[in-house]
Amino acid sequence: MKIALITLSPEGGRLIALIARELTGSDIYVHEKAPPYPGAKQFSSIRTLTAEIFRRYEGLLYVAPCGVVIRAVAPHIGSKYEDPAVVAMDAGGRYAISLLGGHEGGANDLTLRTANIIGAEPVITTTTEALKPLIVGVGCRRGVEAGRIVSAITEALAEEGALPEQVRFLATAEVKAREPGLILAAQTLGIPLRIVRSAEIRACLREFTPSALAAEKIDLPAVAEPAALLAGRRTQLLLPRKTCNGITIAIARESFPWSESGPAVP
């Protein structure tokens, strides 16, 4: 995926520097009033720049206010089958927001990839994705094969009468972010992999089952349960930590505001 990283501010430049380390091969565009970034191209107008590059990239990641990004891309929007993925991120790196081309353009995937890199909250509003209520937390040893992870996940879901199609994220700790078997398992199941920062797990005040093994091996109080709880909103454990074929699985369920407050008024 050919991606352009675009920023208006010095803070955005520092954020893009972190993102560019992982999204290798991306082109970087920095506003002329911000400090220069090695190898970056400078621009004076975000609207002019967007007009020039909108069709040259598969993905456009802006570190800029949503309003600015929407005004810049609006004149060029055509079809969801042709438009590039457009993602907006605040300069503080708190949120990565899928703005345009969620499914077809790959913006949802780019949003999650970017959020995983810097520990941001991915904001994905595609209805078919947002209404999936389950998050599966996964802990595994280094080098575990993808097939074993897939089997453990499907076994745990079946125990709860659930299907992979109901899962919004697989979630794990950042120490497992590059685990090949886990990455391949997520791809095999077609479920996005959400990475939860170690600092968030250590600071988690939710109730979960401590893991002596995780404490010893990776200096974390646990992985599967806190990752599942922290990767979503309004989560409760549906399936506490269990070990399936050497892989630790926990399932959390998200609730929705309308499910808590009763039926909507017609």
Q: How confident is the model at residue 260 (pLDDT cuts 50, 70, 90)?
A: low
Q: How much is the average pLDDT of 87-94?
A: 96
Measured between alpha carbons, how far is 70 from 68 in angstroms, rounded to an integer?
6
Angle at 21 between CA 18 and CA 25, to 5 degrees: 130
Q: Which CATH superfamily is domain 131-256 in?
A: CobE/GbiG C-terminal domain (3.30.420.180)
pLDDT of residue 265: 46
Q: What is the DSSP letter of 128?
A: H
pLDDT of residue 263: 47
Q: What does pTM read for this prediction?
A: 0.91
CATH number 3.30.1330.60 is the correct assignment for the domain at 3-128: no
Q: How confident is the model at residue 177 (pLDDT cuts 50, 70, 90)?
A: very high
Domain boundaries, the chain: 3-128, 131-256
Q: Are 87 and 66 in contact (CB under 8 A)?
A: no
pLDDT of residue 37: 83
Measured between alpha carbons, how far is 135 from 170 in angstroms, rounded to an integer?
6
Tell me if residue 38 falls in helix, strand or coil. Answer: coil
Q: Are 137 and 249 in contact (CB under 8 A)?
A: yes
Q: How much is the average pLDDT of 142-150?
A: 95
The residue written with tokens 């992982």 in the block is: 22
**Is the confidence at residue 246, as pLDDT, over 90?**
no
Measured between alpha carbons, how far is 163 from 190 in angstroms, rounded to an integer?
12
Considering Cα of 44, then 46, then 47, then 50, what sign does the dihedral take?
positive
Q: How much is the average pLDDT of 125-132?
A: 92
Q: How confident is the model at residue 199 (pLDDT cuts 50, 70, 90)?
A: very high
Q: Note whether 3-128 and 131-256 share their fold.
A: no
How many CB atoms are located within 10 Å of the residue 29 CB? 23
